[in-house]
Amino acid sequence: MKLLKWIYAQRKVFIGLLMSAAAIFYIYKRIDLSLLLRVQAEFHLNYLPLYLLIFLVTFLAFALRWWFVNESKGSVWTSFKATLLASGGNALLPARGGDVLRMLYFKQKTNQPVSVSAVRAIVEKGLDLPILLSTVMITFSLFQKDMRILLVPAGLLIVIVCILVLIKLKPDLLTAVIHRVESFLKRDRTEKSEMKFLPSTSFLTYSFLMTAFMWYVPVLLLYGVFLKLVGLEFSVSWSLLLILFAALGVALPSAPSGLGVFHASIASAFELLGYSIEVGLFYATILHALLNIPPALLAIVVYLMDYDTASRNNDTT
């Protein structure tokens, strides 16, 4: 009986693992190893340093966005480390465990309640949504050569900004969400009147502008340099398409770092671009490694550095 209760409590993890296993089985049974060896010969590793540099700039943009969402609470360096822990944690832990790790780390460094950080993380996702929806329409217009479709993301942006303003003016709309977050985390029982869950209008505006910059400059360049790294031509439309399918791959329930589901999603994107599923899978594997190994290693370094600092402080006291 206890085992069944534990399985039910961990149902999201098991669903993610099953989806990853199914995706891995589906794509790997179609591999042609000889074709993969020919594709590997076209790599341009001289683009790797540039990729890693843009990767760091991208994480700095993510960190600045988290800093703005939290109304410049703590330092940018603290937000940068929290962002690395979130990304590295998601690469190593199931069920987006890195996001919870970021909230706990941020509370340790700034004393901000976890429930407040959880609401700010929801705000982050809300800011990502209009950008991703716009990316869908822009990508479609680039492939279809019909720029009138850009009227759709413009309308979506206006609607979503109006929704965010409504939430800002009527914060009671988030009361139900806050109750759920507090009951799930079972911590931070501070009275609601003593906590400010939503950022101010100015910081919300800064966060939105940083979100737009983040997706359309460093993230776009990151995927473009990846294309050059694997021997393909830089293409804005191809980069946007990969961003969309990558976002889909990490949004669906899966094992840590979107293993399997991410690969299937990116391989499908390359199949739409005219490549075989084997080549798409190979590119997806390389992209998955480039997106997850660096933050995972840096997250471990950050954790060890903070643990060592805490140990020294305890020794001195």
All structural domains of the chain with their residue ranges: 17-309
pLDDT at 57: 94
* Residue percentage of the chain with pLDDT more than 70: 63
75 vs 41, residue with greater confidence = 75
pLDDT above 60 (res 11)? no
Q: Is 44 left (phi over 0), alpha (psi -120 to 50) or beta?
A: beta
**Using one digit for the tens of pLDDT, what is the confidence trace for 251-302?**
665 556 667 778 888 888 888 888 887 788 888 888 988 898 888 888 888 8
199 DSSP assignment = P
Distance of CA 108 to the CA centre of its chain: 22
Which residue stretches of the chain are H helix?
2-9, 11-28, 33-40, 48-69, 76-92, 97-110, 114-144, 151-169, 175-185, 201-214, 220-229, 236-251, 261-272, 277-316
- pLDDT tens for each residue of 96-112: 778 888 999 999 999 99
Q: Is the pLDDT of residue 193 over 50?
A: no
- Average pLDDT of span 67-81: 92
As a whole number of angstroms, the distance between CA 100 and CA 271 comes to 35
Q: At 66, is the pLDDT very low, low, confident or very high (cuts 50, 70, 90)?
A: very high
Q: Does pTM surpass 0.95?
A: no
Question: Residue 188: what pLDDT?
Answer: 47
Q: Which residue has the higher pLDDT, 315 or 229?
A: 229
pLDDT band at 192; cut points 50, 70, 90: very low
What was the pLDDT predicted at 190?
46
Confidence of residue 151 (pLDDT cuts 50, 70, 90): low
Average pLDDT over residues 144-167: 59
Residue 196 banded pLDDT, cuts 50, 70, 90: low
**Cβ–Cβ < 8 Å for 114, 169:** no
CA 141, distance to chain mean position in Å, is 25
Give one DSSP letter per residue of 52-97, joined into a string: HHHHHHHHHHHHHHHHHHTTT-S-HHHHHHHHHHHHHHHHHSSTTH
**Could you tell me which of 232, 239, 222, 285 has the C-alpha nearest to residue 48?**
222
